[in-house]
Amino acid sequence: MEDIFQELINKAKEARLKAYAPYSKFQVGSAVLTENDTIFTGCNIENVSLGLSICAERVAIFKAISSGCKRIKAIAIICDTEKPCSPCGACRQVMVEFSPEMEVIMVNHQNKIKIAKAKELLPGFFKGRAIEHR
Ligand code: THU
């Protein structure tokens, strides 16, 4: 595996410690690597109005986008599950919006790793009229 992927995993692990998940008690950490090799991290943030909660992946991706980086090369996601942490459907759709080719590095606490491209995780994803605006 590429060294930069290991660095992303380490950053995701660190970000997970900042998770605000008092309701589910399920902490997730994430880190994205942009086209220009900047790293942005995210953790899940819940709310007493549960539907307002947001996943770690989208926090990291939105930090990148709002900093002007729309092309993402890779995203690492870590949580404490038996299998490597698999992103939810909503986050998959957000991933393909910006970079269908992004490498999604799924990790768990035993350091089990699975890697797949975003577009492979959401076959037949919604494209609307596919107007190029990115
Ligand atoms: N969660 C994530 O952060 N990423 C995912 O891909 C799935 C779920 C969060 C949302 C919620 O705060 C907690 O995990 C339990 O669902």
- Which residues have C-beta atoms less than 6 Å from ligand 1? 21, 24, 26, 28, 44, 46, 53, 55-57, 87-88, 91
Helix (H) or strand (E) holding 98: helix 89-98
Q: What distance in Å separates the CA atoms of residue 92 and residue 119, rounded to the nearest whole number?
A: 8
> What was the pLDDT predicted at 133?
60
- CA 51 / ligand 1 centre spacing (Å): 12
Q: Can you point out the beta strands (E) in 18-127?
A: 28-34, 39-43, 72-79, 103-108, 113-117
- 103 as an active site residue: the answer is no
Class of domain 3-132: alpha beta
120 three-state secondary structure: helix
**pLDDT (tens digit, 0 to 9) for every residue of the chain, 134 residues total?**
789 999 999 999 999 999 999 999 999 999 999 999 999 999 999 999 999 999 999 999 999 999 999 999 999 999 999 999 999 999 999 999 999 999 999 999 999 999 999 999 999 999 999 666 66
pLDDT of residue 131: 60
Write the residue with the smallest CA distance to atom 3 of ligand 1.
55
Quote the pTM value: 0.96
Q: How far apart are CA 52 and CA 94, in angstroms?
A: 17
Q: Which of 57, 101, 103, 120 is catalytic?
A: 57
